[in-house]
Amino acid sequence: MKAPRCTFLALLGALGLLLPGCVVERPAPRGVQVPKGGPAALPDGPVATKAEAPTVNASVRLNIQALGPIIYDGQALPLLSPDGRWLAVQSGEPPDWPTILGEDGALPPNRTTLTIYDASQGVIKPAANSALIPGGLMLGRAADNSGFLVEAPQRDGQRWLGKVSWSSGHLDWLVKDNNINAHATLTSDGALIYTSRKIGDANRSLCLLSDSGRDTLLAPDASYAYPLVGDDPSLVFVPRQNKEGTELEGLRLSREGKLAPVKFGSSIYRRALSRSGDILLAHQMAITSPGAMPAPPRLGGSAPAQVVAPLVCLSPRHGAMGVFSADVGAFDPLPPKSIAAVASPDPAQQGYFVALQGSLVFVPRGWQPGQSPANILGEPFVPRAVLGPAPAIMLFGPVAGSPDKLDVLKLQLSQTGEK
């Protein structure tokens, strides 16, 4: 079965387990709309406006800059470098579902193309080094400031994992063996977490690759799928599945000494998520998670100077986005009908930018169900965070009448005084 060419909203909200059915694409209004009839400001006064005419209210100003449209496959959202400079986009014919899910019978995505876009100058444009990316690759799940992950299903059933350099387009193989290696992501300090199984085997093991070595974790009574990470590099969360359903297992990563390899440590807990053991459930959680932001270098033994974001992804229990608390092992729900979310990268504005089915909103940290979120845009743009001296949110949204295009906007978060 070929992957359906639904809009990205259909992919996020309706893969068939929690919100069944493919969303019908509706005409988008011209330009960016600020919602009417609701609050147009974040707590303490931020207001979303066009970049050429910023509105200042109290202490924070939000400028929206249109970077331009990109062509994609209607299926996979772009990967963004954490500094906001680069985008990796998948276009052409999307991979079929066995290929996406890493199942037996997966085919090389030879009609799929990967393109690097440069967004550093305020306008998105294809990078010349895209021509150096080899064929047969599909977009992975994570990126850092050096490159982005790719997966390469082979005709004999093997599946390899690699990383493509933003600046050169060069591909480095990270995992290249006889197994089916899939579902890879990166922790905030650069470790690769992925699943692996032998061709024909039913269960997938969980694997860790770091600069100090490898480690593997096998569940004799279950199969791992789509590991999930927040900004804490010592924690990984992974759906653990069997015929009885799906659990979310929390695992610590440990290192006994500076020169010792990083390994899977103790299991913190296992929490029941669903009576369904279908891998599509884990896939839904993975594609709605923004992943980890890279940890900055530690200075003088101090802790990283950034806001640590917990795991954010689809909560199967709530049928909406949630924030998973590692302390208690449970999801705190974000607003109902939410389909994507990301933690604010601005320490002065801690909370979450959340895409609903018809708008983009902001909720402060500690938000409780029943409280009204602050409306930002009247379109359901998917948010991704940008770290740096000027924290920002990159936004991806549909283009009216063009299911193979996405509009890319940049929401700049800037501190200012009242004027």
What's the 3-state SS for 302-369? CCCCCCCCCEEEEECCCCEEEEEECCCCEEEECCCCCCEEEECCCCCCCEEEEECCCCEEEEECCCCC
Rounded Cα distance between 40 and 51, Å, is 16
140 neighbors 152 (Cβ within 8 angstroms) = no
DSSP state of 40: -
What pLDDT is attached to residue 224? 98
> Is 143 domain-assigned?
no
Q: What is the sign of the dihedral through the CA atoms of 209, 211, 214 and 216?
A: negative
> 3 is in which domain, residue-wise?
1-71+307-419
Q: Please give the C-alpha separations between residue 309 and each of 206, 244, 247, 409, 410, in angstroms, as whole numbers.
A: 23, 31, 22, 22, 20
Rounded Cα distance between 104 and 359, Å, is 38
> Is 322 domain-assigned?
yes
Low-confidence ranges of the chain (pLDDT < 50): 4-60, 298-305, 416-419
> Is 33 domain-assigned?
yes
398 neighbors 25 (Cβ within 8 angstroms) = yes
What is the gyration radius of the CA atoms in the chain, in angstroms? 20
* 48-50/60-71 β-pairing: parallel
**Cβ-based neighbours of 173, under 8 Å, separated by 6 or more:** 160, 161, 162
pTM reported for the whole predicted model: 0.85
Rounded Cα distance between 95 and 109, Å, is 6
> Is 295 domain-assigned?
no
**Cβ-based neighbours of 381, under 8 Å, separated by 6 or more:** 355, 360, 395, 396, 397, 407, 409
What pLDDT is attached to residue 42? 36
> Is 299 domain-assigned?
no
> Is 263 domain-assigned?
no
What pLDDT is attached to residue 390? 85
328, amino acid identity? V
Number of structural domains the chain divides into = 1
Q: Please give the C-alpha separations between residue 84 and each of 32, 206, 311, 345, 392, in angstroms, as whole numbers.
A: 21, 30, 21, 12, 8
381 neighbors 409 (Cβ within 8 angstroms) = yes
Q: Please give the C-alpha separations between residue 353 and each of 35, 303, 346, 360, in angstroms, as whole numbers.
A: 15, 25, 11, 7
Phi-psi region of 42 (alpha: psi -120 to 50; beta: other; left: phi over 0): beta
- Convert the pLDDT of each residue in 197-256 to its tens digit: 999 999 999 999 998 889 999 998 999 999 999 999 899 999 999 999 999 999 999 876
> Is 392 domain-assigned?
yes
> Is 344 domain-assigned?
yes
DSSP state of 390: S
